[in-house]
Amino acid sequence: MNTKSYVDQHKDRFINELIDLLKIPSISADPAYKDEVIKTSEVIKSSLEKAGCDRVEICETPGYPIVYGEKIVDKNLPTVLVYGHYDVQPPDPINLWDSPPFEPVIKTTDIHPEGAIFARGACDDKGQMYMHVKAMELMTANDELPCNVKFMIEGEEEVGSESLGWFLERNREKLANDVILISDTGMIAKDVPSITTGLRGLSYVEVEVTGPNRDLHSGLYGGAVANPINILCDMIAQLHDENNHITIPGFYDKVEELSTEERAEMAKAPFSQENYNKALDIAQEHGEKGYTTNERNSIRPTLDVNGIWGGYTGEGAKTVIASKAFAKISMRLVPDQNWHEITELFQKHFENIAPDSVKVKVKPHHGGTAYVTPIDSVGYQAASAAYEDTFGKTPIPQRSGGSIPIVALFEKELNSKSILMGFGLDSDAIHSPNEHFGVWNYLKGIETIPHFYKHFTAMSK
């Protein structure tokens, strides 16, 4: 299977097609972009048809549509279900982008001397999802598709995949498969391939602190009534102790503690704290005492404020005590932590630490369960062999700090294991201004993915 020659022959078209896809602002979190999200689903449908799927449909859901495609070669052969998402994060803050988020440009960087595509969704997940569409084209064009393939591309991943469970429950037979293949993660480095074997879970909440019944003059009332912004900041500060340990009672009760041997195995992955700090322009790392950076961002649970606001934030000055203050808070969870339980524990604790001078509301948003995939499965072994074919070295199994809540949902509803073949890098700035995806990484993904199909089919016999 010479996938590289086909990629080399068609790389300019592959890049241009992705750039066109990235121009569409498919922001699922903002209803103002509804038409653009739906337009993107139609583009994906057309792309799957051109790639060789025999059946493609846009499936309506209570939310945004799911694009389903399939090519059944032989019902007696294995079936690979590809999952991806076509929606993207909001690009804010716009002023921190070096170029407009939906006007893709290719620029060279130290890490990507071949160039990287800068745009919202370049890596998460349009670029990585589209690798699978082009890999499908490669296999069908060369009559090298060795098994059955199905695609399920959704438009709500960035808002918690709210309609996906509904769709899975109603389409178990249609989605029946032997393994699920996902590219929504990363690898250690361009010359150090890795396969993500673990994902953290998630609990996401919004809090509201209310003081007086209206905004007040800070001269007339300052010092006499509670300032909700001050109170909220104080409450948030109480959520960690001096060792950066989360103080919510019961939060760690079900946390999986890795053995010394497992932690030693993790430590073998190439990592430079100095380079890490330099890349982020920080003087010193920060986190839970007793754990390394790579442990803190993968095998340990966390609590972070994702947004905080209240009062006057416009130009100039306005001396006001706000009536309300708000924050959005996410908790990344590890195996055995139940996100529903953690949400309840947070709500109870946050309400308990509030002084009587304010009222507190906790609004749960979405969440998901942590996931670990075994490295002795046929799917993992096939992925490992695929990387060996194109990178010339065995990939390293790696736990990720990110969350893809639907992976655990897939196992529950479809009884399938997921294989996470990511080609992004930590430096790709996903969810941040100047998100990008290396051209080399994009093309390498297209080159590598067909080898997974080859090895999975052979190993499944």
User: For residue 347, is it within any domain?
Assistant: yes
Q: Which of 309, 344, 368 marks a domain boundary? A: 368
- Residue 213 banded pLDDT, cuts 50, 70, 90: very high
Span of 103-107, 250-254, 375-379 with lowest mean pLDDT? 375-379
Contact 258, 283 (CB under 8 A): no
Report whether pLDDT(266) > 90.
Answer: no
- Residue 404 is predicted with a pLDDT of 82
What 3-state DSSP class applies to 254? coil
Domain range for 315: 202-255+301-368
Helix runs in 365-438, H state only: 378-391, 406-414
Query: Does one domain contain both 374 and 364?
Result: no
CATH code of 212's domain: 3.30.70.360
Q: Are residues 153 and 22 in the same domain?
A: yes
Check whether residue 81 and residue 193 sit in a common domain.
Answer: yes
In one-letter notation, the amino acid at residue 296 is R
Nearest in space to 127 (alpha carbons), one of 369, 356, 443: 443
Tally of domains within the chain: 2
CA distance 73 to 453: 13
Q: Kindly state whether residue 261 falls inside one of the protein's structural domains.
A: no
The tokens 């010092």 sit on which residue? Answer: 223
Positions of E strands within 249-370: 302-310, 320-321, 324-333, 359-368
Task: Estimate the crossing angle of helix 439-459 against helix 3-22, to 10 degrees.
Answer: 120
CATH of residue 101: 3.40.630.10
% of residues, the chain, pLDDT over 70: 100
* Residue 386, pLDDT score: 98
Residue 266 lies in a domain: no
Q: Is there a single domain that holds both residue 96 and residue 45?
A: yes
Q: Which helix (H) or strand (E) holds 449?
A: helix 439-459
DSSP E strands: which ranges in 93-193?
Answer: 105-107, 116-118, 148-154, 179-182
Instruction: Work out the pLDDT band at 330, boundaries 50, 70, 90.
Output: very high
Summarised one tens digit per residue, pLDDT across range 335-388 is 999 999 999 999 999 999 999 999 999 999 989 899 988 889 999 999 999 999
Q: 94 with 240, same domain? A: no
CA separation for the pair 431, 450 (Å, rounded):
28
Out of 368, 403, 418, pick the residue that ends a domain.
368
- What burial class does residue 116 get, using C-beta atoms within 10 Å of its C-beta: 0-12 exposed, 13-18 middle, 19+ buried? buried
Same domain, 149 and 221: no
Question: Helix 126-141 vs helix 439-459: angle between axes, to the nearest 10 degrees?
Answer: 60
Q: What is d(CA 295, CA 274) in angstroms, rounded to the nearest whole number? A: 16
Q: How confident is the model at residue 439 (pLDDT cuts 50, 70, 90)?
A: very high
| Residue 406 reports pLDDT greater than 90 | no
Cβ neighbours, 10 Å, residue 248? 20
Q: Are residues 174 and 310 in the same domain?
A: no
Which of 350, 368, 386 finishes a domain? 368
Residues 90 and 221 occupy one common structural domain: no
Mean pLDDT, the chain, rounded, equals: 96
Decide if 273 is inside a domain. Answer: no
Same domain, 315 and 377: no
pLDDT tens track for 269-303: 889 999 999 989 999 999 999 999 999 999 999 99
Q: Where are the alpha helices (H) located in 293-438, listed in sequence order?
A: 293-296, 339-352, 378-391, 406-414
Query: Are residues 135 and 148 part of one domain?
Result: yes
In the structure, what pLDDT confidence band is assigned to residue 408 with cuts at 50, 70 and 90?
confident
**pLDDT digit string (tens) for 53-90?**
999 999 999 999 999 999 999 999 999 999 999 999 99
In a domain, 293, yes or no: no
Residues 420 and 318 in one domain: no
112-155 pLDDT, tens digit each = 999 999 999 999 999 999 999 999 999 999 999 999 999 999 99
Whether residue 241 is contained in a domain is answered as: yes
User: Would you place residue 268 in the very low, low, confident or very high pLDDT band (cuts 50, 70, 90)?
Assistant: confident
276 belongs to a structural domain: no
Q: What was the pLDDT predicted at 233?
A: 98
Q: Identify the band that residue 446 occupies on the pLDDT scale cut at 50, 70 and 90.
A: very high
Alpha-carbon distances of 260 from 264, 266, 267, rounded to whole Å: 6, 10, 11
* Co-location of 80 and 206 in the same domain: no
103 inside domain: yes
